[in-house]
Amino acid sequence: MLSEGSSFLKGVMIGSIFYALITVLGHIKIGHGNRMHHHEHHHLQAPNKEEILKISEDERMELSRSFRVYCIILVKPRDVSLWAAVKETWTKHCDKAEFFSSEDVKVFESINMETNDMWLMMKKAYKYAFDKYSDQYNWFFLARPTTFAIIENLKYFLLKKDPSQPFYIGHTIKSGDFEYVSVEGGIVLSVESLKRLNSLLNTSEKCPEQGGMIWKISEDKQLAVCLKYAGVFAENAEDAEGKDVFNTKSVGLFIKEAMTNHPDQVVEGCCSDMAVTFNGLTPNQMHVMMYGVYRLRGFGHTFNDALIFLPPNGSDND
């Protein structure tokens, strides 16, 4: 009896020590990159339009066309209904949108990454995008099919940002000392960041092959680790009032929370007017968002915008 008890206790101790050791090692490995490039956590602001408004309509159209956004959507067979919704809705507003799947799915066209591992899918998709499109597009937006994105608002947000600089933007999450862009809110990379990422993709100490050491680290964290080695840092995107512009929740969830937390200012405190993404939508909700964003409005409210975007050809829900 006594010997069993003591071996049990020994087991508990060894188990805890083992875990602690692994965690510490893991953090050192991630933290190491941190120390190399110490920088202040900062927020990226949506631009101010005053100067842009002084230019002519033709120049505005040309400026609007200078943003070329390539959309990467990572899908798996179980995402089929969301995939359909995303295909029929917001992705039509990307300059180009392609679907990268874990395997071939009969109903939809996609680029087969031939793997079930999300991090591997992501790496391969970015490599594909770089190899094929780095000279045709200047911004690369990656999302899951649970996300709804408003590409026009993304372009507006990117207005004064030079794509030859290393931008890595979205809804950021801090994990201890380490900051990464959550894939649920969508990930934006400038072409420069993509270039730098691509040069490291085959270096396995910097961009690990698959998952983590014992258990898997999510693919968005992996991406951040990799980008850090390339001197690219995550930045949280906010509007002029400090509201997040990339969101990992749906409008409905924000409203519900606002009704509890500040019931007198539900809509005012909810979300940015210039929101780029929402996440966690059902396929039906995507269609409603399409109507709500691109069509439904109050008559007699006009805007003098610095950019001009035309509706896409052959579409009837916007």
Which of 28, 296, 313, 314 binds other proteins (CB under 8 A)? It is: 296
- Nearest distance in Å: CB 71, other proteins: 15
Please report whether residue 294 would count as binding other proteins according to CB under 8 A.
yes
Residue numbers 132-171 binding other proteins by CB under 8 A: 150, 152-153, 155-156, 160, 171
- Which tokens is 95 given? 């300059």
Please report whether residue 280 would count as binding other proteins according to CB under 8 A.
no
CB 142 within 8 A of CB 165: no
Stretch that binds other proteins, among 115-123, 205-213, 223-231, 290-298 (CB under 8 A): 290-298
What one-character DSSP code corresponds to residue 246?
B
Q: What angle do CA 134, 137, 138 make, to 5 degrees?
A: 90
Please report whether residue 82 would count as binding other proteins according to CB under 8 A.
no
CB 244 within 8 A of CB 272: yes
Q: Round to the nearest angstrom and report the end-to-end CA distance of the chain.
A: 74
Stretch that binds other proteins, among 4-12, 189-197, 204-212, 223-231 (CB under 8 A): 4-12
The amino acid that residue 229 corresponds to is: Y
CB 194 within 8 A of CB 132: no
| Residue 131 or 313 with smaller CB distance to other proteins | 313
Backbone angles phi, psi at 181, to 5 degrees: -90, 125
- Nearest distance in Å: CB 123, other proteins: 24
CA distance 314 to 299: 25
Residue numbers 9-68 binding other proteins by CB under 8 A: 9-20, 23, 42-45, 47-51, 57, 64
Which of 107, 298, 313, 314 binds other proteins (CB under 8 A)? It is: 298
